[in-house]
Structure 1
């Protein structure tokens, strides 16, 4: 029986062999069927990792939110036929802040071996570099779009962080980054710590953790169109 490989993709414009280890590269060399969020970008990534790959020799199917779960899960039939299947995220690790977790769960139900591979994870890299509590943390995804709901959520996370010393990690659509930062500066306590991390592993990598009172004095980097990770917490 074939295996389901969870293959991390790039999170910045960089030579993939700087962050993709040899073991992951070998799996890509020997896998011919892939499931991806975007077929075109997935093929471009595979070509970067293995430049000599023949595009005609691989098949990449795109996750389609309009397909039924049964149609989506049918891709795992390849494993039953003895062929390995690769699951690719658009950026970072599959099934983490990513739609692939449903497919992974179905693989477990079918007794298909799931193999996570090593590669960049923006969430863990940001947590590692933040200086915030790495013993007790939670990823809460996107905050509410509505300004009042977003500020209410930020205050709620801060209260939980103060109570349990939990680090909270969240993300935002790049064009709303500035508004999110403004909400944090205007909502959080002066001594609460905020970390902003962007372009991780890339040439313009930016990671800084400051108290809110100190962020207010900073001309922080422009993040309007750059994917970023945000963390709030207290001193561990």
Structure 2
């Protein structure tokens, strides 16, 4: 029987290892240059990073200017995934002036403290109904300033089919003009006329929808203290207004 030397075995093993190493390397080079990477199932935005949101093209509404994205929270904290043609929303009005307002749309916080200037007054996010993505975030300090910019915004920048997510923080009633209240009522609010000192209010509505918003609440302050709004819900891509609510009378402008 022919005896196989240890040196021969080592040489053969070394050649085999080298062949495997070269094969794996060549496969890696081929895969890197010629195989497209798998598409991610979810695109995450790094917190506190300014980026155009959403991307332009394919009929999406232009965001117009960079927006910041804060915390990423899948489904905005809802336990159940929203049905088709719905998207998750979380609105929080804060429990004191040292707290922060929060608005989450489709898993991304668009309004927070130091995110898109969220703060005192009325915070508004516009959502492109077609893509169910936030495209505009603004804050109007109707405590320290007047309602001129808010009125202009509601008249000129909110277009048909825009979904409007609005929530107050701290104090928003002091300089909220009758004209601004009436414009918000035209968007579907049945309760904005009742907003008073340190009252907390939110509404989600769609421009062009008939009737009153199905997503709205107003909480009066208690002894000058805040009664925070803190709601999570699914919003329909095409909102249907309620007709049973009775709105407060419009105010003379």
Q: Which band: TM-score by shorter chain? A: under 0.3
Q: Which has the higher helix share?
A: 1
Q: Which has the higher strand share?
A: 2
TM-score by length of 1: 0.28
Looking at both structures, which has the greater relative contact order when contacts are Cα pairs under 8 Å and sequence separation is at least 6?
A: 1
- Greater Rg over alpha carbons, structure: 2
TM-score by length of 2: 0.26
